[in-house]
Structure 1
Amino acid sequence: MKNLTLEHITKACRGTYHGDTGKLSEEVSGVVIDSRKVQPGYLFVAIDGERVNAHKFIPDTIQAGALCVVSHEDLGETDYPYILVESTGQALLDIAKLYRDSFDMKVVGITGSVGKTSTKEMIASVLSQKYKVHKTLGNFNNEWGLPITIFDMPEDTEVAVLEMGVNHFGEMRRLSSVSSPDICIITNIGVAHLEFFKTREGILQEKTQMIQDMKDKGTIILNGDDDLLANVGPIKGVSPVFFGQGDNCQFRADNIEPLGLRGTACTITLKDGTSFDCIVPLPGIHMVSNALAGAAAGYALGLTADEIKAGIEGLPSIPGRGNIIKTDRLIILDDCYNANPISMMASIDVLNMAIGRKVAVLGDMGELGEDEKELHRSVGEYAAEHGIDLLCGIGDLCREMVDGAVKKSTATKALWFADKAEFLNAMNDILQEGDNILVKASHGMHFPEIVDALTNI
């Protein structure tokens, strides 16, 4: 890995090198925090988990061929080289920053309360029409995931599309100082992680910290349909450009026509006035917003309107994120990777586009703070207001969701299940052939199990 010699790594993480000084000029061939992934020539960074001391696996990594390890424990005299640091977590970020800065490339940084991953996928699809793109795998967007994404970059990367997720104050600067984005994109300011940020204004404050680490002459791209983001003025002397449906947006969508679960047709207008018709291939009005973010990023990096359109229409679906699964008996909207009230309601909107009976299988949403019961109830009310035929709520908090649906409308049948097992035992009796079924919950509910069961009915 270019520039990642043991000497440069030691300096970057302000560590103390112990071992054969003759190896200081050697480059590591990979950087990992999972001891099971070590290969010959790798650097192992020993980051302790909540229950596991990673340092106990150091002998295994040396046996597997690790060139060196990074430790916050003084290992004493060893027959292998190691770098002693104050914090291995911070060292991981420092080493990732060293590697990121060795690339002559553009970085697109993405954050927001909802839609980071789907927006990342859209932007990567658009930019891939012209550039060699590396993107965050899945949602590896935290203080461990971002460095791992960077270490996985091929050396011919021209654009990196990096997702950054935070849930506490101060985390964004630790991520954005590593990524140093050329383009900063914020999808929206919702209510996710209110338990820690307390208010939407607090979320805005933290998310916009990304821009403080933007490269000179960078580009700020914000959702102009978000009430808080629409009022953001110049930062570091750079005026934001906005995407959305409002008159304040330089990248706009008009003539929006839902095509059911096949996606959405629309006309996209770019900043220079160029327009084109396209079909966003995944359902939901929120996907049009993602397409506009992709158009804005593509425009900033010199793509033509034809290239932008090709990238939007070529967007692949990904499991757990608006993925449509068609079986002989059912149509399943697999959106189960994660959930918060805004994304729940957006997914209900998508389900409402379906033809036939509409079933929502929803689970608990986490990290909503003291208003968690009220927010779950509001989702149930929203489902009833929007004509969902059957709501299945799974988990303790979803009892509130079911109650909200029942009190809002008798037209929506609402059933509560204590856990997944209870629902799985009952589903054959309550589902009907031809049902359109949304599956969504917070990641910790592990709802892919439900998607698998529905797929095999």
Structure 2
Amino acid sequence: MKNMTLARIAEVTNGKLVLVPGCEAAKNQEIAGAVNDNRKVEKDFLFIPMVGARVDGHDFIEDAFSKGALASLSEKELDNPSGPYIQVQATKLALKQIATAYRMELSIPVVGVIGSVGKTSTKEMITSVLETKFSVLKTEGNFNNEIGLPLTICRIRENHQVAVVEMGISDFGEMHRLGDIAKPDIVVMTNIGQCHLEFLKTRDGILQAKTEVFEHMPKNGLVILNGDDDKLINADTLGLRKIFYGLNGQQINATDVKPNGLTGTDATLNMDDEHIDVTIPLPGSHNVMNGLAAAAVGKELGLTIQEIAKGLSKAETIAGRNNIITIRDVNIIDDCYNANPVSMKASIEVLGKATGRTIAVLGDMGELGQDERELHYEIGQALEDNHIGYVFTVGDLSEEINKSLSQKNSSCMAHHYTDVDVMLEDLLPIIRGGDTILVKASHFMNFTKVVEALKERLA
């Protein structure tokens, strides 16, 4: 990591560098990387132990040294350590300070992906496009918070030409802190939806919190906005350049959108006076929107429309994010990492495009505030509109989905449960060839258990 010597790290963290006999020269040595997981330590890495609810990372400092760590941070004085360490007041704060200092040493463009829904999928699609021309560092999974983001910045190496980082928040002020670390040159805003309402209260509150990032961008920075979003179309970007994308005649848009079931979507990409037919191998109109955002980033960084189309054609998703798993002739739509009303409806739309029987296994959506029951109730209409055949709901709030279907005298065969295991006892025996099953809930519902049970059943 360029210029990040132990002496420099001690300086930026206001820490005390403690050297051990024989390691005096280490203070001027650059670390090769920084991690908070001792299992990921490599030669000359800095280990950053953190104190969690169940595990104290300080217990693994010696293990980190045994794996080649150059040094460790510590919140306490260490007895006879095997290598040098920097004593700091708080390791979590020190991680952010290190990443902030390191970001200032980097000259590559950083793309920040922000929004209520679709950040991870959009980040993956942007990366797919940019990799047709550049060496790209991207956020792993959804490492998008005040620990994940600085760890991602610390993974940038000399060979990387662009970094694509996801930035997620749930309260006011968080984006200021993330923006101060990442200092993105380009920001993509996917939408302003109904999530984290427990803390941000309204969509206007969500907009206010997410646009905090603009204050941390360079004056020549670019903001790429979903022009089909009623809040973003009029967003104040503090004088920064902006480009709109969307399906309704924006600067970068798509026409002739043709769904191909679960295999993806065909469309014509339009940028300025150029047009090209593209195939996005991910289902749903929301993935066309994600592709348009990626096209806008590619255009800004000098890619041709042909390179952009090539990148879009190779786009993939990740586990838990609208990931389609096919076992024999049964499709499982694994979308169980997180959920809010917008993403829930989008996933139901994808399920509705499947042939054969359609089954939705849905759980509670979290952090929706005082309207949480009404927002769950509204999901029933999406299930009805997309003609979903079977609905299995689990959780206190998801009972509202079941209630909605019952009151509509829906043709959906709806069943509600308070326990996942009991639900699985009814679900697994009815699965048959040709079925498509959507599994969707907020992360705290632990619906990965449902996905694994379905995979085991079909193996």
Q: Same fold (TM over 0.5)?
A: yes
Shift of 1:75: 4.6
SS at match of 2:387: coil
Secondary structure of 1:212's counterpart equals helix
**Aligned partners of 1:232 and 1:240 also within 8 Å:** no
Give CA-to-partner distance per residue, 1:49-75, whole Å, 9 cap, x none. Answer: 134333343344345443322223355
Q: Tell me which amino acid in the other structure corresponds to 1:337.
A: Y
Q: CA deviation at 1:115?
A: 0.2
1:76 Cα deviation (Å)? 7.9
Larger displacement relative to structure 2 (304-313 or 250-259): 250-259
Counterpart CA distance in 2 for 1:34 and 1:101 is: 24
Question: Does 2:262 align with 1:254?
Answer: no
2:226 is equivalent to residue 223 of structure 1: yes
Point out where structure 2 has 5 or more consecutive residues left out of the alignment: none
Post-superposition Cα deviations, 1:146-196, rounded to whole Å, max 9, x if no partner, equal 122222223200000000111121111211111111101110111111111
d(CA) in 2 for partners of 1:443, 1:78: 39
The residue number in structure 1 matching 2:267 is 266
Q: Measure the CA separation in 1 of the matches of 2:332 and 2:416.
A: 20
Output the CA distance in 1 between the equivalents of 2:70 and 2:324. Answer: 45
Please report how far the alpha carbon of residue 385 of structure 1 lies from its aligned counterpart in structure 2 after TM superposition. 3.3
- Displacement of 1:303 in angstroms is 0.5
From 31, 35, 44, give the equivalent of 1:28: 31
Q: How far apart in 1 are the matches of 2:428 and 2:50?
A: 45
Q: Are 2:158 and 1:173 aligned?
A: no
Matching residue's letter, 1:95: I
Residue in structure 2 matching 1:245, options 244, 247, 260: 247
More moved, 117-126 vs 274-283: 274-283
- Asked if 2 retains the 8 angstrom alpha-carbon contact of 1:384 and 1:409, the reply is no
**Residues of 1 paired with 2:431 and 2:66: CA distance?**
53
The residue number in structure 2 matching 1:41 is 44
From 145, 148, 169, give the equivalent of 2:148.
145
The residue correspondences of 1:53-132 to structure 2 (distance < 5 A) are 53-75=56-78, 80-132=83-135
Which residue number in structure 1 is paired with residue 287 of structure 2? 287
The question of 1:367 aligning with 2:370 is answered no
Name 2:302's counterpart in structure 1: 302
* Distance across 1 between alignment mates of 2:329 and 2:63: 49
Work out whether residues 233 and 240 of structure 1, in 8 Å CA contact, stay in contact via their aligned partners in 2: no
1:187-246 per-residue CA deviation (whole Å, 9 max, x = no partner) reads 0111111111111111111111112111231111011111100111342x2232111022
SS of equivalent residue, structure 2 residue 151? helix
Conserved in 2, the CA contact under 8 Å of 1:244 and 1:252? yes
Shift of 1:80: 4.2
Aligned to 2:10: 10
State the Cα RMSD in Å.
1.9
Deviation at residue 264 of structure 1 after TM alignment: 1.3
2-side partners of 1:81 and 1:432: how far apart?
A: 60
2: CA distance between counterparts of 1:12 and 1:387? 57
| 1:389 paired residue number | 389
SS of the equivalent of 1:409 reads: coil
Which residue identity is paired with 2:184? P
User: CA 1:52–1:205 in 2, change beyond 3 Å: closer, same or farther?
Assistant: same
Q: Does 2:346 correspond to 1:343?
A: no
Contact 2:220 2:241 in 1 (8 A): no
What amino acid maps onto 2:159 in structure 1?
D
What fraction of aligned residue pairs are identical, expressed as a percent? 47
The aligned counterpart of 1:159 is 162
What residue identity is the alignment partner of 2:430?
Answer: I
Give the TM-score normalised by the residue count of structure 1: 0.94
- Figure out how many residues of one structure are paired with residues of the other and give that number: 454
Q: For residue 335 of structure 1, report the CA deviation from its aligned partner.
A: 1.6
SS at match of 2:262: coil
1:245 is matched by which residue type in structure 2? Answer: L
Going from structure 1 to structure 2, the CA distance change for 1:61 and 1:79 (only over 3 Å counts) comes to closer
Letter in 1 for 2:439: V
After superposition, the Cα gap between the structure-2 partners of 1:46 and 1:282, relative to the gap in structure 1 and judged at 3 Å, is same
CA–CA separation in structure 1 for the residues paired with 2:50 and 2:428: 45
Q: Report the more deviating stretch, 123-132 or 251-260.
A: 251-260
- Is the CA contact (8 Å cut-off) linking 1:46 and 1:71 kept in structure 2? yes
Q: Does 1:438 align with 2:434?
A: no
Opposite residue 320 of structure 2, the aligned amino acid is: G
AA matched with 2:16: T
What is the letter of the counterpart of residue 146 of structure 1?
L
Moved more, 292-301 or 379-388: 379-388
The aligned counterpart of 2:421 is: 421
**Equivalent position SS for 1:438:** strand
